[in-house]
Chain A
Amino acid sequence: MTAPLIELRHLGKSFGAVRALEDVSLAIGRGEIHCLAGENGSGKSTLIKVISGIWQPDKGEILFDGKPVHAMTPRDAIARGVQVIYQDFSLFGNLSVAENLALSNELQEGRRLVSWGRVRRIAREATRKLGVDLDLDALVETLPTAGKQLVAIARALMSDPRLLIMDEPTTALTGREVEALFRVVRDIQGRGIAVLFVSHKMREMLDISERLTVIRSGQVVAAGPIGEFDEAKITRAMTGQEIAAEGYRWEAQPGRKPLLEVSGLTVPGEIEDVNLRVMPGEIVGISGLLGSGRTELALALFGMKPGHAGSIRLEGRELRLGSVQDAIAHGIAYVPEDRLTEGLFLTQTIDRNMLATSHDRLSRMGVLQGGRAAREAAAMIREMAIATPTGNRPVTQLSGGNAQRVVIGRWLMNDPKLLILNGPTVGVDVGSKAGIHRKIRELARARGLGVLMISDDLPELVDNCNRILVLHRGRLVSEVAAEETSEAALSAQLGALA
């Protein structure tokens, strides 16, 4: 029996008092697609950095082809055939595609001078190897995400790697791009290159990998051929708890008036003649491909498309939404897709982020009532179950799931009637995701809040919404009750639109 390509034995790594890796053993065979699963903070990234030689483990050993390697540097790892494609791709946006492709090769060969003819030759060779067509002169920053990823993959393949590590490769891709990526990955495997696929998306793991290793708190909690796993088992291993997906049951109460009624809503060039209703306590999903107009619909309802036509009624009252201030004043709240750039003040504390939309309400004659503000912020931190000892900490210290709770909590402080969520759990791990879903349902049920949930994550819509609207090219093309559909049916419907 031949030794595995790489074997990790009882690796441990601490940073100060924090033990990032407790005891991790893992073996990857030649040409194997291996999936490494774990929630944020489980030690996945530390493990990648140890395998690629960026950090040295405190204990345990790494074996390549059965032979132990000590004090491995990034260069050693690359020389042994390890290539990592990071989530951010680690490309140079300010340099051309050609140079990005050729750089690491030139460095590996220890060149001191650059020949631009050679750079082009290497780059052409790299794109040919991957079988893709890229504009070699384009600056990388001008490429779309999927294009950048291809550059990163092509670059990694240049050095004839034996192990390709891909860190959360599907995060920023659309469904179709994910399929294209998987084809590339299988093609890479066909050449005998092993792939370590790091992810927290269950469906993808089950789809692509042959073996799976799940780590939690720096320890391997489950491992084996993919056939031994199903979604529930992976979730259980990743979170250490049972998270049952159950639909949101919402009963129409007779005699209640609709909370939101939209009719004939049109934003020229973006959405056309959209009609929809949301009842109090209802969670309505909005699905559609990127560019279908779903975000524009949300923005129109949040007063950011002042040029719209058609009518928007909230609790029976006709609204004129000319600005965000109008929308907020009428009790409409919007949690944007990209919370890092649009939703949070990253340099500020959790409290200040919480209070960002409440200053008017909490001020008397223009002076913020500090005591009351602090009390309310603390109450909301408790209500949203945000994991922090005090609201005085920088918001950047929170995990993705907790940061999202801050954004949602901020809006709840103003007691909104309608909550619009755009990609509420993008980049949030399974455990916190379930927590956020639970919270949203509770809010809808207890406060009679109407929720519009826009998401790419179809299971999220099916599980949480009682109705799902499908938007395509700015029009509503169908409406289904969540009970009567499934992720597969919805996915097929979206696929047919593409």
Chain B
Amino acid sequence: MSGLANALRRHPELMVAAVLVLAVVVIGAVNPVFWQPSNIFSLLRASVISGILALAVLLVMLSGGIDVSFPAFAIAAMYLTVKAMIAWGFDGVVLPFLMASGIGLCLGLVNAVFVHYFRMIPLIVTLGTGTAVRGFILGAVGTSQINIGQMPPDLIDFARTELFAVARPDGSMAGLSAMVLVFAVIALLVHLMLRHTMMGRSIYALGGGEEAARRVGFNVRRTTFFIYGLAGALAGFAGLLHGAMIWTANPRDMVGMELDVIAAVVLGGASIFGGRGTVIGAVLGVLTFVVITNSLIILGVDTTWQRIVVGLIVIAATAVTAWRDRKRLA
């Protein structure tokens, strides 16, 4: 039994923390612009949506499944909510986010029904529901992009809130988006749920072995519905927040994003076999992912290389976690 595999199993976030530190040091050394507050703030802001979605994916992966439907759910929740707000002439913040989360929740429960009652593989279920939901939005709701002019102003104002701002060398101000705080609060809540509630432990137990979880007395159905419901709600919330942050509601947005988010979560030490992974790991995974992919520009690397880097990150991170998880068979 290798000591490294053991350490990684107990503290899955060790690997990603090391990668993040390495990445930051190297990038900062190559181009000191990296360390400017405006760059750091923009990286943090860029992590918010992926981060919330990563929490959703983490929940599903911990239970031993995988979810590829969340970008579709996020977009559906966002587009339906914004459309409804425009149609009803409603502006506001709390109710729209509740509505988007509720739409995501319902869609997530549909996933749970298939996974639990039909005993279907989550990958196939979520491929199906994700595709169907995208098709429904484009076919039955609309294909047109809603731009800044029509977007509900309260939403946009909310997303523009800044925690504080520092002056750039040229005198203009660079602010840290308050959405980073929103993400931090959600991450903390999910962390507390996973670590300190029986529901959270039942998710880990389910990932450790469904039959064993049942035998110990966990209500596997309730846990499954909770996981997919919460993952859906988080996706819905993230979808509307995404629209608010880019001032646009585009029904064709976030295509292919599932791979990036799953890559970040795996990079954060979550096991593709379930039962292993932490919120801290997932958050660090997203930060690392965002830092690396967004810094290619300041490193002077052509942006077309970005997808290659994403692919390599997926393969490398999965290889390390798979190696770690196989060690238990030895």
Name A's B-contacting residues (CB within 8 A). 54, 74-75, 78, 84, 86, 88, 90-95, 99, 103-104, 106-108, 111-115, 139, 141-142
Nearest chain B residue, comparing its CB with the CB of A52: B215
Known: A92-B212, A142-B328. A114 touches B207 (CB 8 A): no
Question: How far is it, in angstroms, between the C-alpha of A104 and the C-alpha of B213 when the chains are bound?
Answer: 10
Question: How far is it, in angstroms, between the C-alpha of A291 and the C-alpha of B205 when the chains are bound?
Answer: 33
B215 touches A86 (CB 8 A): yes
**B89 adjacent to chain A (CB < 8 Å):** no
B195 touches A114 (CB 8 A): yes
Known: A107-B198, A114-B196. A92 touches B205 (CB 8 A): yes
**B9 adjacent to chain A (CB < 8 Å):** yes
Residues of B within 8 A of A99 (CB): 201
B207 touches A104 (CB 8 A): no
Residues of B within 8 A of A108 (CB): 217
Known: A92-B204, A92-B205. A104 touches B328 (CB 8 A): no
B contact residues, range: 20 to 34
Residues of A within 8 A of B197 (CB): 112-114
5 tightest Cβ-Cβ pairs between the two chains A and B: A92-B208, A94-B275, A90-B212, A141-B328, A94-B208
CB distance from B216 to the nearest CB of A (A): 5
Question: How far is it, in angstroms, between the C-alpha of A88 and the C-alpha of B209 when the chains are bound?
Answer: 11
Residues of B within 8 A of A106 (CB): 198
**B150 adjacent to chain A (CB < 8 Å):** no
Known: A114-B195, A139-B9. A107 touches B276 (CB 8 A): no
B1 touches A90 (CB 8 A): no
B6 touches A104 (CB 8 A): no
B212 touches A107 (CB 8 A): no
Residues of A within 8 A of B157 (CB): none
Nearest chain B residue, comparing its CB with the CB of A140: B208
Q: A92-B204, A103-B216 are in contact. List 16 more A-B contacts (CB 8 A).
A: A74-B217, A88-B212, A90-B209, A91-B209, A91-B212, A93-B208, A93-B209, A93-B275, A95-B201, A95-B204, A112-B198, A114-B201, A115-B196, A139-B9, A142-B6, A142-B9
Question: How far is it, in angstroms, between the C-alpha of A178 and the C-alpha of B24 when the chains are bound?
Answer: 55
Residues of B within 8 A of A91 (CB): 208-209, 212
B211 touches A94 (CB 8 A): no
**B299 adjacent to chain A (CB < 8 Å):** no
Nearest chain B residue, comparing its CB with the CB of A139: B9
**B222 adjacent to chain A (CB < 8 Å):** no
Residues of B within 8 A of A78 (CB): 217
Nearest chain A residue, comparing its CB with the CB of B62: A94
Nearest chain A residue, comparing its CB with the CB of B194: A114
Question: How far is it, in angstroms, between the C-alpha of A106 and the C-alpha of B196 when the chains are bound?
Answer: 12
Question: How far is it, in angstroms, between the C-alpha of A95 and the C-alpha of B201 when the chains are bound?
Answer: 9
Nearest chain A residue, comparing its CB with the CB of B205: A92
By CB atoms of chain B within 10 A, which of A94, A114, A139 has the most?
A: A94
**B10 adjacent to chain A (CB < 8 Å):** yes
CB distance from B200 to the nearest CB of A (A): 8
Question: How far is it, in angstroms, between the C-alpha of A180 and the C-alpha of B82 when the chains are bound?
Answer: 67
Interface set, chain B 28-49, CB cutoff 8 A to A: none
Residues of B within 8 A of A92 (CB): 204-205, 208-209, 212-213, 275
**B218 adjacent to chain A (CB < 8 Å):** yes
User: Beta-carbon contacts of B186-230 to A below 8 Å, as 1s and 0s?
Assistant: 000000000111111100110111011111111000000000000
Residues of B within 8 A of A74 (CB): 214-215, 217
Question: How far is it, in angstroms, between the C-alpha of A75 and the C-alpha of B275 when the chains are bound?
Answer: 24
Nearest chain A residue, comparing its CB with the CB of B195: A114
Interface set, chain B 148-171, CB cutoff 8 A to A: none
B198 touches A114 (CB 8 A): yes
Residues of A within 8 A of B6 (CB): 142
Residues of B within 8 A of A103 (CB): 201, 205, 216
Nearest chain A residue, comparing its CB with the CB of B274: A94
A95 touches B205 (CB 8 A): yes
Residues of A within 8 A of B212 (CB): 88, 90-92
Nearest chain B residue, comparing its CB with the CB of A96: B10
Question: How far is it, in angstroms, between the C-alpha of A211 and the C-alpha of B217 when the chains are bound?
Answer: 30
Q: Select A90's contact among B195, B199, B211, B328, beta carbons within 8 Å.
A: B211
Known: A78-B217, A90-B216, A108-B217. A142 touches B1 (CB 8 A): yes
Question: How far is it, in angstroms, between the C-alpha of A78 and the C-alpha of B215 when the chains are bound?
Answer: 10
Residues of A within 8 A of B271 (CB): 94
CB distance from A249 to the nearest CB of B (A): 42
CB distance from A227 to the nearest CB of B (A): 34
User: Beta-carbon contacts of B274-297 to A below 8 Å, as 1s and 0s?
Assistant: 111000000000000000000000
A107 touches B217 (CB 8 A): yes
Nearest chain B residue, comparing its CB with the CB of A103: B216
Nearest chain B residue, comparing its CB with the CB of A114: B196
Residues of B within 8 A of A115 (CB): 196
Q: Select A84's contact among B10, B213, B215, beta carbons within 8 Å.
A: B215
Question: How far is it, in angstroms, between the C-alpha of A90 and the C-alpha of B215 when the chains are bound?
Answer: 7
CB distance from B3 to the nearest CB of A (A): 11
A113 touches B217 (CB 8 A): no
Interface set, chain B 56-112, CB cutoff 8 A to A: none
CB distance from B139 to the nearest CB of A (A): 38
CB distance from A86 to the nearest CB of B (A): 7
Question: How far is it, in angstroms, between the C-alpha of A184 and the C-alpha of B90 when the chains are bound?
Answer: 69
A113 touches B204 (CB 8 A): no
CB distance from A153 to the nearest CB of B (A): 15
CB distance from B130 to the nearest CB of A (A): 27
| Listed A/B pairs (22) with beta-carbon separation below 8 Å | A74-B215, A75-B217, A84-B215, A86-B215, A90-B209, A90-B215, A91-B208, A94-B207, A94-B274, A95-B201, A95-B204, A95-B208, A103-B216, A108-B217, A112-B198, A113-B196, A113-B197, A113-B198, A114-B198, A114-B201, A139-B10, A142-B1
